[in-house]
Structure 1
Amino acid sequence: MTADRAAALLGRIRRARGARVTRRALAVDLVADPRHLDKKIATVERRVSDALSDSEPALLRLPGVGPILAARSIDRVGSLDRFPDASHFASRCGTASIEVSSGDVTRHRLSRAGDRQLNRALHLIAFSQVRCHAPARTYYQYKRAAGKRHREAMRCLKRRLVVYCHLTADPRAAAHAAT
């Protein structure tokens, strides 16, 4: 139930007497706080979205990337000049895998190096794409069918995400990142 729906339900309650007056007053106070916070969140998201549409419109077109994740990614990436190619970017994000082999078994695991917050943003983007974006879901299922575990398939998808390409695709983004 949303705060607006709860407020609408409270508005339908007729005048009460006795203890019901106190309960209704407490309920109105409890509903007012989430409504106020919802309005503040919407305002902040709108401001961030407006700022990003001026500087990073290509990143916002990537499925699964909203204004908050885009802002978090841009903040954590910093200057794009530090990354000569997508492999260096993947290493910085912590999505470049590390080979851990034992005998005949060759495995790769997630690198604990890199920016964990940026890795988390990429994880949220990948998770959203697996749920709502058909090509990402197909790629994830392909990796699972190839014998990868869930975490390994998600790591492959995070590595495949084209966040670096979207950041470098827009000339305004490159100019903004240089400043």
Structure 2
Amino acid sequence: MVVIGIDPHKSSHTAVAVDETGRKLAQHTVPATPDGLLRLRTWAAAWHRRKWAVEDGRGIAGRLVRTLIGHGATVIWVPPKLMARTRASARTRGKSDPIDALAIARAVLREPDLPTAHLDQAALDLRLLSDRRDYLITRRTAAINQLRWHLHDLDPALDPGTSSLTGPRRLSTLTTALTGLPASVRRDLALDLTAEITTLGEQITRLEQQLTQQITTHAPSLLAIVGISVVTAAKIIGETAGITRFRSAAAYAMHAGTAPIPVWSSNRTQYRLNRGGNRQLNTCLHRIAITQLAHHPPARDYRARWTAEHPHASTKAALRALKRHLTNTIYRALLTDHHRLHPAT
């Protein structure tokens, strides 16, 4: 079996083929164009038993991976951190596209249980919508912060303080108040920011409506879990990118960064925080855990039982245990929704 590691970029893709022992066989660089992808597949045809390993780069490798999978190839996503560790442990010093591609291929040999990629248009659409919503919210927050400074200078009474500046009614009232002030550059900038915040709010609302329509039919079991909203469910599905990629709940926990890491060398069993995995998924799990501890008695009961069984553990360790437990619950819910939509699989 030959593993072909690819270091993807916007303008080019560099591929390195290695054998089962990790020995480099060949390398090839092609432009990131349809013709370049065809040349890459033609070059790889020299090895009949092969699989592809691609660094998991959001937005850069998507077209490449879709093309490979569309032609029946087996593609494995390699997390950037895993690739970096493999490169650091190699005898070859430095960093280049061929060195990175070689590290990507060898990472697959060192970690044979990495999940494979597959085409999941629904998950891709949800991730695109979720990412767009996050971007618009970031822009709106920045605009609100600028607006508050202008309001403080124009008239501190116009600033609602701790109240939100996202509601259409409040923004309309603020626009009327600003219009009544004497003309100035600062007033005009404040009016522009108010209009921008209003427009961004309308776009965010439309995106949330789209997410609601898709999630309601796509993931009812996931939505039934306490603490998971439409936005959180969309983020989970988009970042999971197909629950069938994972052979077990433990593999999914490793992907989400909730699998505990052992850190002991004596008789006392001890684990530490896992800083690896998908941080977007990990953030979702953290929010769900905090919400359940506040509003879901079974979550509090689980934490109490775990704390009683581990009297020397910290409060943060108990929270990490709850997140690991929630990962199993979410894994089962995603599988249930998948089998409901695809009963033949």
What is the TM-score when the length of structure 1 is the normalising length?
Answer: 0.78
CA contact (8 A) 1:94 1:114 kept: yes
Q: Distance in 2 between matches of 1:138 and 1:7?
A: 46
CA contact (8 A) 1:94 1:111 kept: yes
CA contact (8 A) 1:10 1:24 kept: no
Cross-structure match for 1:88: 251
Q: After superposition, what is the alpha-carbon deviation per residue over 1:49-88, rounded to whole angstroms, capped at 9, x for unaligned?
A: 2111121121122122122221221122223323333223
Q: 1:38 to 1:147 in 2, by over 3 A?
A: farther
Q: Counting helix residues as a fraction of each chain, which structure ranks higher? A: 1
Counterpart mapping for 1:26-175 below 5 A:
26-140=189-303, 143=306, 146-161=311-326, 162-170=329-337, 171-173=339-341, 175=342
Aligned identity (percent) is: 34
- What is the one-letter code of the residue matched to 2:323? K
What is the TM-score when the length of structure 2 is the normalising length?
Answer: 0.44
Once the two structures are TM-superposed, the CA of residue 24 in structure 1 deviates from its matched residue by 4.5
- What is the one-letter code of the residue matched to 2:324? R
Once the two structures are TM-superposed, the CA of residue 6 in structure 1 deviates from its matched residue by 4.0
- What is the one-letter code of the residue matched to 1:129? Q
Once the two structures are TM-superposed, the CA of residue 44 in structure 1 deviates from its matched residue by 0.7
Once the two structures are TM-superposed, the CA of residue 163 in structure 1 deviates from its matched residue by 0.6
CA contact (8 A) 2:175 2:194 kept: no
Q: 1:48 to 1:7 in 2, by over 3 A?
A: same
Comparing 160-169 and 120-129, the one that deviates more: 120-129
3-state SS of the aligned residue for 1:45? helix
Q: After superposition, what is the alpha-carbon deviation per residue over 1:17-46, rounded to whole angstroms, capped at 9, x for unaligned?
A: xxx233544432221111211111111111
Q: Distance in 1 between matches of 2:200 and 2:324?
A: 35
Q: Distance in 1 between matches of 2:304 and 2:202?
A: 39
CA contact (8 A) 2:227 2:288 kept: yes
- What is the one-letter code of the residue matched to 2:288? I
Q: Root-mean-square deviation (CA), in Å?
A: 2.8
Q: Does 1:21 align with 2:188?
A: no
Gaps of 5+ in 2: 1-163
CA contact (8 A) 1:60 1:70 kept: yes
CA contact (8 A) 1:56 1:172 kept: no
Q: Distance in 1 between matches of 2:321 and 2:205?
A: 33
Q: After superposition, what is the alpha-carbon deviation per residue over 1:86-127, rounded to whole angstroms, capped at 9, x for unaligned?
A: 223223322121222133432112334433332222222223
Q: Which has the higher contact order (CA 8 A, sep 6+)?
A: 1
Aligned length: 173
CA contact (8 A) 1:55 1:172 kept: no
Gaps of 5+ in 1: none
CA contact (8 A) 1:100 1:109 kept: yes
Q: 1:116 to 1:29 in 2, by over 3 A?
A: closer
- What is the one-letter code of the residue matched to 1:21? A
CA contact (8 A) 1:7 1:28 kept: no
Q: Distance in 2 between matches of 1:94 and 1:26?
A: 44
Q: Distance in 2 between matches of 1:59 and 1:38?
A: 27
